[in-house]
Amino acid sequence: MGNQVDRRKFIQASTVATAGLALTSAGVGNEDAKVNRPVRIGIVGVGGRGTGLLRVLLTMKGVEVPALCDINADHLKRAQDIVAAAGQAEPTGYSVGEDRAYKQLMDRDDLDAVIIATYWEWHAPMAVYGMQAGKYVGVEVPAALTMDECWELVKTHEQTGVPCMMLENWSFRRDNLAVLNMIRRGLFGEIVHCHCAHSHDCIDHWFFDGQGNDRWPAKYLIDRNADQYPTHSLGPVISWMDIGCGDYFDYVTSTATSSLGINAHFARKFGPDHPGAKRKYAQGDIVTTVVKTHQGKSIVINYDMQLPRPYDNRWMIQGTLGIYNEQRDAVYLLDRSPKYHDWEPFAPYQEEFDHAWWKEMGAEGGEHGHGGTDYLELQQFVKAVRDKTQTPIDVYDSVMMSVIVPLSEQSIAAGSAPIKCPDFTRGKWRTREPAFALDPRFTQTT
């Protein structure tokens, strides 16, 4: 629209002292800005995930949703009705042309931010256009699928000064933030190693429907062999290990098993003659990625989404003074645990080190989206938009979690060879201070 250039300059001047890493991050303890005007957010993609995020946003005071985009007319109408039922004016809908409709929404001069919840291949292009249009961007996971997309996100942020936040909700889980407080208090000593995973049988509801038909993510299993969904694994880990602010990924090695689970699923459920039981899939059932950091630490990341199993993230963080194990819901701390070399329950530590964000959010937030994580994530995103500060997860965090997709693919294709990780910060990680979820009560002092 006519004011787009002026608006872009205004946002840049308001949010950055210098481009890129100079944006300030709002931590716990900063005074909230008064809600003297609504934060106006447009949403691109209102299928299942986008609609869920929309419902959460509509519970927040001072948030308006004046525009929605989806090329599926039924999804768009459903979302418009949800906004109207919440007491807001029916939002303008954009649906004509997948490569034009979202641009029409983002070119509006009355939006402060856009949320992107579309198919994966659209995440990075839409986020780039959103930043170029001067809008704060919240983009679903993963933020990028290729190395070029990672760099394009970083370069666009640095050129425009506009924040881009990948909406990795597991970074905001209550237990994960309590563990972060424990780490920052120094209870685990110096961190040495971490294990994390996304273990979630998604075959019969996400990759494929219950009748054996392909859903939109199925094509990735056919065409690509990689850790295709690393961000839920890494969400809490990058802050636990100060990745991007004191340490950084050096190189990765990835190994994939053969692909047996998808064919076995179709043969078991629909018979051996079903096309899905015969089709060749590039994606191995289990991908194990090992990251070596510049400071000599290691991270094991597991992709596990195609075999029968209960849901599990298998987080484990280990240091010179102790260990936390999410599967056991337990810790062992050399200087605190009552029995030498014996686990103790995590629950008392959860209570003692509960993050201020969760205390301040209130019980109503816990009623929405993945036990409150979606609410907290969006609450902090909206606060950054309102205050014109850096988002809690910035573009560098977003690409670090996402880059495991192309790095793992390259390593697997090269016979599990080590692949160097690009430095998206261009060396600034060496002096950059931690900024995510700062809680002054538990920050380590030396």
Structure confidence at residue 444 (pLDDT): 56
pLDDT at residue 4 in the model: 43
Domain's final residue, options 170, 201, 220: 170
Residues 235 and 330 in one domain: yes
Identify the H or E element spanning 219.
Answer: helix 218-223
> Cα–Cα distance between 121 and 188 in angstroms, integer?
39
Residue 377 lies in a domain: no
List the one residue out of 373, 356, 389 whose CA is nearest residue 56: 373
User: Cβ(252)–Cβ(299) under 8 Å?
Assistant: no
282 and 408 Cβ atoms separated by less than 8 Å: no
Measure the CA–CA gap between 358 and 156, rounded to whole angstroms.
32
The verdict on 93 and 136 lying in the same domain is: yes
The Cα angle at residue 275 between residues 274 and 277, in degrees rounded to 5: 70
380, part of any domain: no
Residues sharing a CB contact under 8 Å with residue 431, sequence separation 6 or more, in sequence order: none
- Please tell me whether residues 163 and 202 are part of one structural domain: no
Contact indicator for 198, 314 with CB cutoff of 8 Å: no
Q: How far apart are CA 97 and CA 423, in angstroms?
A: 36
**Is 386 among the domain residues?**
no
177 and 151 in one domain?
no
Indicate if 178 and 116 belong to the same structural domain: no
115 shares its domain with 41 = yes
User: Which of 120, 155, 170 finishes a domain?
Assistant: 170
Do 311 and 437 fall into the same domain?
yes
Asked if residue 212 is part of any domain, the answer here is yes
Q: How do the pLDDT tens digits run along the chain, 446 residues long? A: 434 444 444 444 444 433 444 565 544 444 444 456 899 999 999 999 999 999 999 999 999 999 999 999 999 999 999 999 999 999 999 998 878 999 999 999 999 999 999 999 999 999 999 999 999 999 999 999 999 999 999 999 999 999 999 999 999 999 999 999 999 999 999 999 999 999 999 999 999 999 999 999 999 999 999 999 999 999 999 999 999 999 999 999 999 999 999 999 999 999 999 999 999 999 999 999 999 999 999 999 999 999 999 999 999 999 999 999 999 999 999 989 998 889 999 999 999 999 999 999 865 666 677 789 999 999 999 999 999 999 999 999 999 999 999 999 999 999 999 999 999 999 999 999 999 999 988 875 44
Helices (H) and strands (E) in the chain, counts: 17, 15
Q: Are 119 and 262 within one domain?
A: no
As a whole number of angstroms, the distance between CA 218 and CA 279 comes to 12
Q: What is the CATH number of the domain that holds 248?
A: 3.30.360.10
pLDDT of 364 = 64
Question: 416 lies in which domain range?
Answer: 173-357+395-442
Contacts 24+ apart (CB under 8 A), 216-222: 216/119, 217/120, 220/120, 220/283, 221/262, 221/281, 221/282, 221/283, 221/306, 222/279, 222/280, 222/281, 222/282, 222/283
Q: Is 293 helix (H, G, I), strand (E, B) or coil?
A: strand
363: in domain: no
Instruction: Please indicate, yes or no, whether residues 33 and 164 belong to a single structural domain of this protein.
Output: yes
240 within a domain of the structure (yes/no): yes
Residues 177 and 264 in one domain: yes
pLDDT digits (tens, 9 = 90+) for 407-416: 999 999 999 9
CATH code for position 135: 3.40.50.720
**Residue 324 φ then ψ, to 5°:** -115, 135
Structure tokens at 423: 């430095």
The Cα 46–Cα 420 span in angstroms is 37
**How many residues are present in the chain?**
446
Could you tell me if 131 and 188 lie in one domain?
no
Burial 341-358 (b: 16+ CB within 10 A, else e): eeebebeebbeebbbbbb
| Domain annotation covers residue 364 | no
- The per-residue pLDDT for 370 is 75
Q: How far apart (Å, rounded) are the C-alpha atoms in residues 316 and 323? A: 7
Would you say residue 58 lies in a domain?
yes
Domain count across the chain: 2
Based on the fold, state whether residues 218 and 348 are members of the same structural domain: yes
Q: Which of 145, 170, 195 is the last residue of a domain?
A: 170
Alpha-carbon torsion 226, 328, 347, 193, what sign? negative
List strands edge to edge, sheet with 164-166: 92-94, 63-69, 39-44, 113-116, 136-139, 164-166
Write out the two tokens for 321: 């003074």
User: Coil, strand, or helix at residue 155?
Assistant: helix
